[in-house]
Amino acid sequence: MSASDDLLWLAWRDCLLWAVSDDAIMEAFQRETKTPVPERARNGLDALIGKATGWDAAFAEAFVAWFNVHVWGDEVPVRVTVERR
């Protein structure tokens, strides 16, 4: 990767983090995709349940695909797979 690739990746990541915290963007995502937005885990047990059920990964994959087109501006959705450990 070149230095410009690194900067582009950082810009994409920061934009994604901003988008997921923006109420209007999350409402648009939910309205357009009919994908429910999970509540933030209140504790470690909630986080483990989300991970065990795959819900956190499924949401992340759906949101990133939508984000890349509707916020970042890619013309074609890029399929993203979240590694489940």
Backbone CA torsion sign across 69, 72, 74, 78? negative
Domain assignment present for 45? yes
pTM for this entry: 0.74
Task: Tell me if 49 is assigned to some domain.
Answer: yes
What's residue 77's pLDDT?
A: 58
pLDDT at 3 over 80: no
Identify whether 79 is part of a domain: no
Number of domains in the chain: 1
Which string of DSSP letters, residue by residue, matches 24-75? HHHHHHHHHH-PPPPPPPSSHHHHHHHHHHTHHHHHHHHHHHHHIIIII--S
Given a contact cutoff of 8 angstroms between Cβ atoms, the answer to whether 71 and 19 are in contact is yes
* pLDDT in the model for residue 34: 92
- Give the pLDDT confidence of 37-80 residue by residue, as tens digits: 887 778 888 778 777 777 778 888 899 999 999 999 877 656 66
The tens digit of pLDDT for each residue in 20-33 reads 999 999 999 999 99
Domain span at residue 43 reads 3-72
Angstrom distance (rounded) from CA 36 to CA 33: 9
